[in-house]
């Protein structure tokens, strides 16, 4: 969920909660004020009745005066405190029941005491409270709607520089000479973020260029002495005066030199893959490329008497043909080098996957480290970088590479989906 959406949700929840609590308090406050005012009016009615009796020395007629109903009840009580209570008001004009508020008290006429009960309708007061409540609810809905629109449009506009910076960071390519294009804004925090991003990208590019230059120079400088060593060893091997033990030692040196050259090339290739320095893109049929590789490795397969089983379906992919060629080379080399003499090699290609199955050591390899650099068995003559290169190429195209073992067959599975 985006930050703006979280902020909108949080602000609306807080606003609604505060408004609901405020509305409840407001409702009870208005209700209390209205009831207090009604009780004051009823108290004045009691005082008017008492004053009327004291002046005229008789009870007023039992009638509806200003929509108030007054009732006198004889009582033997000498004292009766004034009491306010809710009751039912019978409207004599419409002959219907309404909510009412009443007051009772004691009045005296001569030696006779009367309990007077004055009832007044609460309908107008309740209507007022309902009307105020509806206005409050309406204002709350309008306020929430305005708050939503404000967060939706104004805040989205406010966050535009941030999203622009985010897009630039996502599209940032360390090997690209193009500078980040960031928006100037009046928000200090976004300006600080842009400054930090520009500084970071500049430093990263500078470090990358220095590292790339060092790697290229080191690789180039290593190739020359390696080529000289290999050339000299070729000449020594052709010397017919060499003793058998000397020939064996030179052969070991020759093999180590070749391995060092392959290691140098593999490390350089890994650097190029990890930093997206190989950007050629083609659309081609992977089936054709696999068939070509089978022809190239056919002699090695035959020499090791490997039983080859192939099941290939057409599969169009868009990728670097150079990298896919390297991927297939490593998968074929791995499946043949670690296979048993007279073993099996099963290659399957479908629309969704490429699978290599081969015989080999009877125990399963460590699935957690098999695709890491320099992970190989003690008997392996490889550089230990082949499967690491395969994993990096798959990661480049968001493919999934995994290893498993089933029925004494080691399985390498490339998932295109």
In tens, the pLDDT along 302-328 reads 899 998 999 999 989 888 888 888 889
Residue 89 φ/ψ, nearest 5 degrees: -105, 120
User: Residue 356 above 90 pLDDT?
Assistant: yes
Query: What does the pLDDT read at residue 64?
Result: 44
Query: What does the pLDDT read at residue 358?
Result: 92
Pick the CATH number of 190-274 from 1.10.10, 2.40.50, 1.10.8, 1.10.287: 1.10.287
**Region 282-298 average pLDDT:** 90
Range with the lowest mean pLDDT among 92-96, 137-141, 164-168, 233-237? 92-96
Query: What does the pLDDT read at residue 264?
Result: 67
The model's pLDDT over 170-229, given as tens digits with 9 standing for 90+, comes to: 877 776 667 777 777 777 888 888 888 888 888 887 777 777 776 666 666 667 677 777
**Region 269-290 average pLDDT:** 77
The number of angstroms, rounded, from the C-alpha of 404 to the middle of its chain's C-alpha atoms is: 31
Q: Tell me which range, 143-157, 194-208, 227-241, 328-342, is most confidently predicted by mean pLDDT.
A: 328-342
In this predicted model, which residue has the larger pLDDT, 279 or 411? 411
Per the structure block, which two tokens stand in for 110?
């001569």
Q: How far apart are CA 331 and CA 286, in angstroms?
A: 14
**Region 3-15 average pLDDT:** 74
* Phi-psi map region of 405: left, alpha, beta (phi>0 left; psi -120 to 50 alpha): beta
Q: How far apart are CA 107 and CA 175, in angstroms?
A: 102
**H helices within 345-403, ranges in order?**
386-396
Question: Which of the four pLDDT bands, split at 50, 70 and 90, describes residue 37?
Answer: confident
Question: Which of the four pLDDT bands, split at 50, 70 and 90, describes residue 380?
Answer: low
Q: What own/partner pairs with CB < 8 Å and gap ≥ 24 does 95-99 have?
A: 98/122, 98/123, 99/123, 99/126
Whether the Cβ atoms of residue 45 and residue 103 lie closer than 8 Å to each other: yes
User: Residue 343 above 80 pLDDT?
Assistant: yes
Is the sign of the CA dihedral 84, 90, 93, 96 positive or negative?
positive
**Region 121-125 average pLDDT:** 78
Q: How far apart are CA 44 and CA 90, in angstroms?
A: 21
Beta bridge mates, 413: 355, 402
Q: Where are the domains of the chain?
A: 3-154, 190-274, 282-415
Query: What does the pLDDT read at residue 89?
Result: 78
Range with the lowest mean pLDDT among 106-115, 142-151, 173-182, 399-408? 173-182
CA angle (369 as vertex; 364, 372 as ends), nearest 5: 130
Domain pair 190-274 / 282-415, same fold:
no
Q: Does domain 282-415 have CATH number 3.30.565.10?
A: yes
**Region 260-287 average pLDDT:** 73
Which pTM was predicted?
A: 0.49
Of 334, 330, 335, 327, which Cα lies nearest the Cα of 310? 335
Q: How far apart are CA 413 and CA 31, in angstroms?
A: 75
The model's pLDDT over 69-116, given as tens digits with 9 standing for 90+, comes to: 888 888 888 888 888 888 887 776 666 777 888 888 888 887 888 888
């Amino acid at each position: 969920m985006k930050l703006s959406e979280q902020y909108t949700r949080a602000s609306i929840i807080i606003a609604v909660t505060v408004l609901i609590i405020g509305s409840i308090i407001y409702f009870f406050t208005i209700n209390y004020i209205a009831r207090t005012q009604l009780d004051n009016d009823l108290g004045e009615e009691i005082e008017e009745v008492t004053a009327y009796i004291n002046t005229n020395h008789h009870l007023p007629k039992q009638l509806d005066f200003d929509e108030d109903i007054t009732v006198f009840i004889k009582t033997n009580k000498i004292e009766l405190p004034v009491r306010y209570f809710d009751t039912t008001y019978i409207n004599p004009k419409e002959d219907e029941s309404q909510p009412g508020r009443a007051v009772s008290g004691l009045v005296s006429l001569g030696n006779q005491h009367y309990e007077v009960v004055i009832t007044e309708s609460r309908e107008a007061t309740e209507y007022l409270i309902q009307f105020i409540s509806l206005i409050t609810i309406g204002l709350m809905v309008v306020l929430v709607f305005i708050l939503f629109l404000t967060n939706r449009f104004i805040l989205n506009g406010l966050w535009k520089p941030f999203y622009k910076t985010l897009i630039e960071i996502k599209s940032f390519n360390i090997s690209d000479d193009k500078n980040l294009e960031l928006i100037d804004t009046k928000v200090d925090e976004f300006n600080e973020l842009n400054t930090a991003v520009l500084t970071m990208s500049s430093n990263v590019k500078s470090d990358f260029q220095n590292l790339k230059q060092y790697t290229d120079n080191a690789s180039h400088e290593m190739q020359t002495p390696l080529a000289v060593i290999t050339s000299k060893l070729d000449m020594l091997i052709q010397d017919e005066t060499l003793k058998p033990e000397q020939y064996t030692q030179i052969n070991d040196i020759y093999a180590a030199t070749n391995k060092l050259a392959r290691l140098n090339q593999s490390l350089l290739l890994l650097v190029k893959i990890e930093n997206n320095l190989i950007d050629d893109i083609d659309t081609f049929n992977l089936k054709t490329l696999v068939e070509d590789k089978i022809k190239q490795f056919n002699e090695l397969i035959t020499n090791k008497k490997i039983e080859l089983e192939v099941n290939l379906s057409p599969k169009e992919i868009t990728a670097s043909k150079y990298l896919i060629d390297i991927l297939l080379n490593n998968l074929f080399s791995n499946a043949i080098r670690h296979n048993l003499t007279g073993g099996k090699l099963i290659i399957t290609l479908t629309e969704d996957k490429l699978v290599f199955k081969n015989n080999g050591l009877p125990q399963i390899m460590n699935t957690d480290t098999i695709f890491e650099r320099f992970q190989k068995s003690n008997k392996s003559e490889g550089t230990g970088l082949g499967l690491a290169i395969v994993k990096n190429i798959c990661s480049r195209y968001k493919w999934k590479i995994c290893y498993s073992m089933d029925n004494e067959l080691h399985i390498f599975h490339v998932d295109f989906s």
